Structure formats: C-alpha cells, structure tokens
Structure 1
C-alpha cells in the first residue's frame, strides 16, 4: 500500500470510529458514507474517492487466493485489522463494473453479558446442558454480539469444548476455562454442512453456527443437539413465531410433522433482537425471549403456533417476554421514544395498549 493511500484510509477509518459508526462505505466517485445509530450519513470533511484508490486497497486486504475468489465470485467477505483500532469485516464487491467496499467496524473486545443490560433469563441459557437456542433478528440488530457474548460467558466460567462455524470469524474467543475451536467457512472448511457433519462425529459441548439457511444444515443441528450438545444458531427472522414458521418452511410438507417433533424435543429458546435509537444518542437492545417450557414444547408439537403469542404476552418475564412489552417498558423508562419503538414492534395495536396500562 502506498503511504498516501494508507494515510487516507486510516484517516477515514479513524473519523468513522470517532463518530461511533458501525459501517463505512467506500464507493468510487462518491464521498465516504457511514452508518451511525442505524442511519446513513456522509462522512464530512472527506473528498470523493477514486476508482484507483479502491483498487489499490485490494492487494493489501486480500491474499492471492482471496483475490482469485473475488475475481471469480465478484464478491468476498473477510475480517482484517485496519490501523490500530481493531478488526473490521470487509465486504468487497463489484457494482457498475467497479470495486466497492463496505467496512463493518467490529468491537475491539467481546462485551460481557453483564455490560449489555440484558434480563437475567438470558444468562440462564449459558447453563443449559443440551438443546437449541436460536438468536434471531434483522441485520444490524446485535445478534452476533449477543451470540459471542454468550459463548464468552461459557468460556470464562465453565470447562467445556466449544466449537463454532462462522462466516467470517468476527471475534476471537480468548484462552480461559474452555477449549475453543473457531472454524471459518471458506478458509478452514468448505461449507456449513461439512463443518457441522464433522462436529457431529465429535464430542463438542457447545456449538455456535453463524448462519442457518437450508434444511440440510438444520438436520445436522438437530442431530448435534439430540446427541447432547448446546447449540446456538443465528437466523434472520424477526420474532419467535416467524422463526418457527421459517424453519418449517425449509422442509417439504411430508416432513413437517417430524420437524415439529424435533423442534419440540430440542428447542431450548428463541431470542429475537433489535437495536433501537436511544434518547440522547446511541442505541439500546430490545428483545423478545421465549424459553422452551413444557407448555411451549406442546404448542410446537401440536402445531398450534398462534398460542405462542399468548405465552409471550402472559409471561411474567422469568421464561418469556414479548418484543412489544419490552419496547413498552423502554418507552415508560424514558429510554426510547414512541416513534422509534413503533418501528420495531410486532403488533402496533398491542404495543400502544401496553403503553396505556
């Protein structure tokens, strides 16, 4: 990297970090853009970036093998350190025939569960011996942060064998009480399915999967959970009910009854995440939490999914809390505005009714 390109990139990156940006976009013939508290904005004080500037970054960030992948696939995701501020996830891709970059600024250290302001029920998921915990939400909702914090809690407090399958590895678990292996799809193993099949043959106590998007992967996850492992898996769904319906949608009608049974037998809980703009700046987590109690397992087994809403709304918070109730509590405590909460609620009518109580 030429010194001039390095100076420019480091300056842009430091400015983005100082503004507490979570993402930085470098697109040819445009000024840099950043995402702050979920909103896009121009990074002021910077010039329009040239195609040659972006092209000069590629051989620095990518190995020859990764450059070959980029040339073939036209896109690639990697994690790299930029300057002295820690790791970032780089999405490098073509658009309009030219290279562009999206840089996701990753936390410099793993956040402890106690620093995330979570309900006590979340920590209880780290003590489950076997089962499936699904961590869901839209992009930029704090799913990955929560997942790695749960693993970090286990790593620091329990002697376990932890195995992860990620694409890419965003945070590295340090040495503590557990044995940890983190495998990156594309670098350490060819696919999620292959990695999970290998895990199933071994004696992993805790497993984490950063993406689940097909039936074959889910079948491996069920098999691993049934064999006695605690599995954390990340999905793109936005609520407990939609998560269960999405899982069933992966499978043909002929298998749905069996999948309901596997879910009812192996599900330990679902945690759905949001990051909501906070009054005064920054963002705060809002969660929907569904623990797989005996009642929840029966509902899933019988396919009476609409009853899950009643469970979420009637629980006192020890085993479940609805997203609408969580948001209503944040509004009542002065953390977020009604306007912002409405954007993230599941049922606006119910949410507003909860505010009037």
Structure 2
C-alpha cells in the first residue's frame, strides 16, 4: 500500500512540474520568444528579439526540471542522455507550440535549451522571401542551401520553401532531420519525415538509402560532415531537388566550407560537381525592426548563373561576390543591398543596418551617414 501511495505522490508531483513548465512555455510563446533556457539552480530565461531576459519567479530545481523533461522522453532517450549527457529531441505541446530541445549538463547541473517552433508552417510570402526564391522551389533538380548563424531563421526559411512545394507540386518530399522541427501536413505531395535515432541511425545511413525511396525532393536538416555533403551533392546531381543548411554567413564562405571539407585530391572534382549541381544560396540574418518589437530577415542571395558556374569550375570562388553585385537582373542581392533596402523602406534603423553590414565602408558610401 505504501508503494502505491508513493507512486501516486510521484505522479502527482510530476504532473505539477509538467504543468508549471508548460505554462512557462505558453507564456514565452505569447511574448514572442524564440527560445527558453532552463538550468537547475537558476531562474528560467527567454530569448526575445535576440536578447535573453530572466523570468521572474521561483528558481528551477534539479528535481522539477528532470521530472518535466523525463516526462517527454522514452526509456531509450533517458538511457542515452544519462550515458552521454547530451540529447536532441522535439516535442509538441498541443495548441501551444512545437519545441526542439537540447539537453546538456554544465558544472554537474541539468540544463535544457528549447527552441520554440510554430505549429503552423509560415508561407514564403509571410517571411518575405524574394521572387527569385520561387525559381528555386520550382526546379526539377539541384542543390539549394540556406545559411546563417544559429538563430537566424534557417529552419523557418527551409520549411516555408518545402511547404510551398508540398502545396503546389505532386512530389515525394523526404526530410532527414535531427530532430524533426516543423511537421508538414501532406497536401499535393507525399511527405516522409525521418528523425535521427527514432527513424534512422544517422544522416549517412539515411542518405545512403534515400535513393531507393523514390524521392523527388530531399531536405537534409544540416550538412554536418564530408559524408553528408557528398551525399547531398550526389542527390542533386542525380535528379533530386535537394535542400540543406550550413552555419556560414555568405555565399563564398559557404562554397569554401564545402570544398575545404574534402581532402585536397578531391577538391577539384567537388568544385566541378558544384558547378553543375549548385542552384543557389540564401544567406540570412535576423535584424530588429525599427520602433517596434520583432525581427526581419536580411538576405544575401546567390543564383548560379553561367558566370558563377564558370568561376566555380576555374576555382575563382573569391570573385563570386562580384558576380552577386552584378547579378541583379538574375535576382541576386548582396547583404549590404538587402540591409539598405530594409533601411530605405523604414523597416530597420540606420544604426541596425550599419551594425549588421559585412562591409561598413561600402554601406556608408552608398547610404550615407544616416
């Protein structure tokens, strides 16, 4: 009887912890937060418009945080976290949000970093993707990359593009993610979403078998290593429209990151492959709006026209920036030009544009001193 009473008390306490943290997440969503940070021994923090704020209220205890998080996990996930002290997973709080969790330990204390993901995938129009991006999502094959630092909206941009295809084309879309972030509702397309550990052993394992799953469109959550990069390039070469992300800040850096990931004796071949398969790169960052809450994306866009492909073949990657500057008719835009346009439209302040400019001297020359 005592055992039953103890179990009942534990379950009641666990439910209380779940309710408390779910309420916190609901409040964070209402405030427009992008992330919630939970650390044992500290108050919660939320990230709003790129900045962290401490939440008033009680300090998070190890017991309450562990009870809440373990209620979201299966036995295998708990075992893996207790063995490795690292775990990525996603969870949907019905009617509130979907969240991507990263569990870790710092100074012996349990921590969770939580990215809040809208339950509804935004449209390309809602996130103000430029017209040239519609060309990317209507391609039959090729490689399209979305790049930027952590928290720059890469997953959202990628999801909006994938859902456009889902809405307008009759295809098989295969996503390989760690973990699954946005969940797509099937529309005109058939959508298969595979998650690391849950549905497949690894990116490499999933990509190796992707060719036999009859996909038209493949979305790889992140190109993490040489094997993933090679698989993405091969998929694009063999008639699949392939999307992925990298944590790079501009097109030329992205191309160099891919090429430099390969051994020297393979780099010429990889450049040649990219010259054929690469279709475009969207490099973005989120910047604060002027005089109101919220952020908006500034984007550099590379379109692989004939000039860019020749530069790739000849190994003249540093000259790609000049090709973007002169490729306006093809829909290309530099980061400075994107920031300048947002400033001219009154969406961001001059100070914000200048702070985020990759070349401040050029920005001042073109847009003055504010």
1:180-259 paired onto structure 2 within 5 Å: 180-259=191-270
Aligned to 1:31: 43
Which entry has the higher C-alpha Rg, 1 or 2?
A: 2
Once the 2 structures are TM-superposed, how far is the Cα of residue 83 of structure 1 from its aligned partner? 5.7
Kindly provide the CA deviation profile for residues 144-175 of structure 1, in whole angstroms up to 9, marking residues without a partner as x. 00111111000111101111111110111112
Contact 1:200–1:220 (CA<8 Å) still a contact in 2?
no
1:12 aligns with 2:24: yes
Q: Which runs of 4+ in 1 moved over 6 A?
A: none
- In the comparison of the two structures, how many residue pairs are matched? 356
Contact 2:275–2:313 (CA<8 Å) still a contact in 1?
yes
CA distance in 1, matches of 2:94, 2:61: 21
Contact 1:166–1:210 (CA<8 Å) still a contact in 2?
yes
Contact 1:264–1:300 (CA<8 Å) still a contact in 2?
yes
Once the 2 structures are TM-superposed, how far is the Cα of residue 81 of structure 1 from its aligned partner? 2.2
CA distance in 1, matches of 2:80, 2:304: 42
CA distance in 2, matches of 1:43, 1:228: 50
Superposition TM-score, scaled by structure 2 size: 0.93
Aligned to 1:87: 98
| Greater alpha carbon shift after TM alignment, 229-238 vs 88-97 | 88-97
Kindly provide the CA deviation profile for residues 318-339 of structure 1, in whole angstroms up to 9, marking residues without a partner as x. 3310011100111121111222
Aligned to 2:344: 332
Gaps of 5+ in 2: 1-10
Contact 1:325–1:354 (CA<8 Å) still a contact in 2?
no
| Greater alpha carbon shift after TM alignment, 200-209 vs 229-238 | 200-209
Superposition TM-score, scaled by structure 1 size: 0.96
Q: Secondary structure at 1:156's aligned position in 2? A: helix
Gaps of 5+ in 1: none
Aligned to 1:63: 74
Aligned to 2:159: 148
Aligned to 1:300: 312
CA distance in 1, matches of 2:227, 2:26: 42
Once the 2 structures are TM-superposed, how far is the Cα of residue 285 of structure 1 from its aligned partner? 0.9
Once the 2 structures are TM-superposed, how far is the Cα of residue 232 of structure 1 from its aligned partner? 0.4
Once the 2 structures are TM-superposed, how far is the Cα of residue 317 of structure 1 from its aligned partner? 5.3
Once the 2 structures are TM-superposed, how far is the Cα of residue 310 of structure 1 from its aligned partner? 1.1
1:310 aligns with 2:322: yes
CA pair 122-73 structure 1, distance change in 2 beyond 3 A: same
